[in-house]
Structure 1
Amino acid sequence: MKEEYEAYCAAHGRPERIELMLSDINAVLRGKWLPGDALGKLTSGAVRLPYSTYAPAIMGNEVEATGLGIVVGDPDGALVPVKGSLRPVPWMPGTVAQLQVEMLTPEGQASPISPRGILERMVDRFTAHGWHPVVATELEFFLLRPRSKAYDAPKPPVRTPAAQNYDLEVVARQEAILTEILRACDVQGLETDTLIAEYGPGQFEVNFHHTGDVLAAADTALLFRRLVRGVVARHGMEATFMAKPYADAPGNGMHVHASVLDDTGENIFNHQAGPAPSATLKNAVAGVLATMEELQAIFAPHMNSYRRFQPMSFAPSTPDWGLDNRAAGVRLPEVTGPGARLEHRISGADVNPYLVLTAILGGMMHGLETAPDLPLPIDDPASEPAQRLGHDWFDAVERFAASDRAAEMFGTEFRDVYAAVKHDEVQTLTGMITPVEYQYYLSRL
């Protein structure tokens, strides 16, 4: 870490402060500001946070049912730096650096509830088989006019068409913001690919390059959301990765492309014999489909997420698959050559990317190891429609809480902590009486 810090200072100057960032289970970044010359305090183990910081509810409160927090005295865990994550923060005034951190348990062990650690362990399972996942993400977000109150409804930028799909003029109107976003990505080493205007009003999508460093891909998705919100705020606007900010427009998704290489660097999904998918790719798809319902609480973690799973929501919401068919939950863009892969299209952009990649890779692993039955693709005239994923948040959390596969992929302790947090969020947020209920029921019933 000392060498990394010295190299950073040589390239960017000594930072005034270092923002230490820990991802909780909702992918909310929590942490501390460290003076720029106090890195030794971190590397010596002297910088700590309450261990319960990994698992607060989205509202910020402790959840007693997790067994963490004040019910056990709220002990600290030492923060440890994530190698290679020291980066400048170009949208902030002054010289500011950011550094991702993980937290040890109060006993000094690697945390079983760290989202990043869970993904790392899943990648290790692939490595033990001689397999090496390659992934890429695509993230959608909306630009919004600034709001005066947190509960104000969103509004798109002025002169924004209701449907702006691939509209280059729309991109040009937001050139100052979008160019700064891409420039900041370059400064931080987040390797972007294409940028487009998506369908919704004020909606854009950025794609990232495929990489064999799965942890880096998840880091990139997490850091990109922070970067976009920071850059956009400098321009007097807001940005959101909320799954469904508008009822009558498409929501924000995070699509994931995934393939697997063997120890020789060959794509195990490549079907050299013809245009049909290989048996190996079919097995991986079957595993992803077979586990999708049990893991929906990972792909749709919040109350608003389930608006994407309702009819006419513009998003895939069914455990089905197709060849280059964007209506499918799992799409196969290519089945031959080095680009043979699956595209998982279920997740919203509001997810924890570490957990989503763990769930997708875990589903692929299940398929590769057990070869479950695969339904016909939706392109086949003989295929029968699959049962849609549910649009009830509580039911999804209940399925995850009871899932043996979730325990196997994420660990029993994490499954139970995650379910406890989500149960608390469900109880709190669905228990609120909304203005629309007062509007239509209070004086009529």
Structure 2
Amino acid sequence: MSDFLSEYEAHVAAHGTPERIECMLCDMNGILRGKWIPAAAVDKLAGGHVRLPLSTYAPNILGEEVPESGLGIVVGDPDGRLVPVPGTLKPVPWTASPAVQVLVEMTELDGTSSPYSPREVLGAVLARYAARGWRPVVATELEFYVVQSRERPDTPPQPPEPNFAAQNYDLETLSQHDAMLTEILAACAAQGIDTDTLVAEYGPGQFEINFHHTDDVFAAAEMALIFRRLVREVVEDHGLEATFMAKPYADSPGNGMHAHVSVLDSRGDNVFSAPGGVGPTLGHAIAGVLATMPDCQAIFAPHLNSYRRFQPMSFAPCAPDWALDNRAAGVRVPATTGEGARLEHRIAGADVNPYLALAAILGGMLWGIDRETPLPPPCDSPDHAPPDRLTADWVTAVDRFAASDIAADIFGTRYRDAYAAVRRDEISKLTTQITRLEYRTYLTRL
């Protein structure tokens, strides 16, 4: 019996037979796509007989195929086989009828893994750590906004009532949304999402969830991925909307995904731990993340709106710099000794693909460790020479990624090129539209 069938039968024994199975495939944008199948077709799914087009891995944000990616109708749009990801079968607590969800990957029809899978990309980076006898330990933090329900998708967001312009760590805000937040946490518990703290963040209607650290990096990525879906579903049931858009309000902080990362050796010891400050391994890892950050910015900031977080006074770090326990830095180092020695990567928006963001961070760490890259002075040191800020221009970031040997090393040339093609297609679709602002400003004046 397959692991998936064993999981399914255990679920049925505990909760009864669901009406459907929701198969969820993570695309390049971090969007969950897939299909529903009846529970009676569980053997078909377990046997690899449920299919989707391989191009489902790489549509643009609008859901359209991108011929330049090398997928889609230009190559006949062939199918892949859906393969359930072990350990991801979970109940869906917000549905009216009983349902389960499971993450799936696609293989080629001959059973080989797809090079377009973001999970496979992360797996290739993790294999480099495993070859050293190392295990990364990761914990993510996700910020999101709750907004009033809108009738039109192009209506600007408005915070829920009542609200505070700056609600940072405000307990009254949590109390006002107690029913909704309690349901979010209950749904997390039902789906095995290991949450830590929940706080009201700075912006009006903004919240942050922290997940517990884990040495299952796939699980860390999947918690962030599934949490975004869960929050949107639960919040909608309360007559509101939730968004992980990087910058929903021009004058309020954006939504980030911070990642805390340490590394254990074969004995379970933290290789970053050193007495008396930042040790050589941690120093090289930080230096590697900083050196690779500009080339990987298109991963950490994938979309048009993402680059509003990199404007001056945007409330977010926007330079490849670091410091000890300083939240203004792109990389913060909360601890350098003991089990908690780690770096905190603070550049990525909440709109990222979590698999790809963690691959970029972990790949950058190894890049610095392998080359023994020297660590520059921290950004709050008098010896600090300010580096060039990360770009606020989407095209510049994508062009740099597309030409980057670093990106090819971390993601593979084929994936780098496909990713750049999808981003450039999104650029062509969105930046060629004439906005309401342009009509309001220019149409009757010029």
Fold shared per TM-score above 0.5: yes
The answer to whether the Cα contact below 8 Å between 2:27 and 2:118 also exists between their aligned partners in 1 is yes
The answer to whether the Cα contact below 8 Å between 1:257 and 1:341 also exists between their aligned partners in 2 is yes
User: What root-mean-square deviation, in Å, do the aligned CA atoms of Structure 1 and Structure 2 show?
Assistant: 0.7
Structure 2 equivalent of residue 434 of structure 1: 435
1:146 paired residue among 141, 149, 154: 149
Structure 2 equivalent of residue 375 of structure 1: 376
Q: CA deviation at 1:66?
A: 1.1
Structure 2 equivalent of residue 409 of structure 1: 410
Structure 2 equivalent of residue 347 of structure 1: 348
1:116-158 Cα offsets, whole Å, 9 max, x none, are 1111121111010111100000000000110000000000011
Question: Secondary structure at the residue paired with 1:37?
Answer: helix
Alignment pair present for 1:18 and 2:18? no
- Structure-2 separation of matches of 1:129 and 1:394: 37
Structure 1 equivalent of residue 93 of structure 2: 90
Code of the residue aligned with 2:185 in structure 1: it is L
Alignment pair present for 1:103 and 2:139? no
Structure 2 equivalent of residue 291 of structure 1: 292
Structure 1 equivalent of residue 75 of structure 2: 72
Alignment pair present for 1:133 and 2:146? no
Question: Secondary structure at the residue paired with 1:38?
Answer: helix
Mean Cα displacement is larger for which, 10-19 or 105-114?
105-114
Code of the residue aligned with 2:96 in structure 1: it is P
Structure 2 equivalent of residue 396 of structure 1: 397
- Structure-2 separation of matches of 1:374 and 1:433: 45
Structure 1 equivalent of residue 445 of structure 2: 444
Structure 2 equivalent of residue 198 of structure 1: 201
Code of the residue aligned with 1:231 in structure 2: it is V
Structure 2 equivalent of residue 112 of structure 1: 115
- Structure-1 separation of matches of 2:218 and 2:225: 11
The answer to whether the Cα contact below 8 Å between 1:319 and 1:386 also exists between their aligned partners in 2 is yes
The answer to whether the Cα contact below 8 Å between 1:51 and 1:106 also exists between their aligned partners in 2 is no
Structure 2 equivalent of residue 241 of structure 1: 244
Mean Cα displacement is larger for which, 128-137 or 370-379?
370-379
Q: Within 5 A, what are the aligned runs for 1:232-381?
A: 232-271=235-274, 273-274=275-276, 276-381=277-382
2:164 paired residue among 157, 161, 165: 161
- Structure-1 separation of matches of 2:329 and 2:5: 48
Q: CA deviation at 1:185?
A: 0.2
Question: Secondary structure at the residue paired with 1:225?
Answer: helix
- Among all aligned residue pairs of Structure 1 and Structure 2, give the percentage whose two residues are the same amino acid: 63
- Structure-2 separation of matches of 1:76 and 1:416: 21
Q: CA deviation at 1:46?
A: 1.2
Structure 1 stretches of 4+ moved >6 Å = none
Code of the residue aligned with 1:256 in structure 2: it is A
Q: CA deviation at 1:106?
A: 4.0
- Structure-2 separation of matches of 1:140 and 1:415: 27
Code of the residue aligned with 1:381 in structure 2: it is P
Code of the residue aligned with 1:340 in structure 2: it is A
Code of the residue aligned with 2:133 in structure 1: it is G
Question: Secondary structure at the residue paired with 2:366?
Answer: helix
The answer to whether the Cα contact below 8 Å between 1:270 and 1:336 also exists between their aligned partners in 2 is yes
- Structure-2 separation of matches of 1:13 and 1:317: 50
Give TM-score scaled by structure 2 length: 0.98
Code of the residue aligned with 1:252 in structure 2: it is N
The answer to whether the Cα contact below 8 Å between 1:134 and 1:261 also exists between their aligned partners in 2 is yes
Code of the residue aligned with 2:253 in structure 1: it is P
The answer to whether the Cα contact below 8 Å between 2:12 and 2:18 also exists between their aligned partners in 1 is yes
Q: CA deviation at 1:37?
A: 2.0
Give TM-score scaled by structure 1 length: 0.99
**What runs of 5+ residues in structure 2 fail to find an aligned partner?**
none
1:392-432 Cα offsets, whole Å, 9 max, x none, are 00110101110111111111111111000000000110011
- Structure-1 separation of matches of 2:387 and 2:174: 37
- Structure-1 separation of matches of 2:368 and 2:339: 20
- Structure-1 separation of matches of 2:414 and 2:112: 15
Code of the residue aligned with 2:399 in structure 1: it is E
Q: CA deviation at 1:387?
A: 1.1
- Structure-1 separation of matches of 2:16 and 2:388: 56
Question: Secondary structure at the residue paired with 2:382?
Answer: coil
1:220 paired residue among 223, 226, 231: 223
**What runs of 5+ residues in structure 1 fail to find an aligned partner?**
none
Question: Secondary structure at the residue paired with 2:114?
Answer: coil
1:275-319 Cα offsets, whole Å, 9 max, x none, are x11111100000000000000000000000000000000000100
Question: Secondary structure at the residue paired with 1:126?
Answer: helix
How many residues of Structure 1 are paired with residues of Structure 2 in the alignment?
Answer: 443
The answer to whether the Cα contact below 8 Å between 2:199 and 2:209 also exists between their aligned partners in 1 is yes
Alignment pair present for 1:174 and 2:186? no
Q: CA deviation at 1:3?
A: 1.1
Alignment pair present for 1:27 and 2:26? no
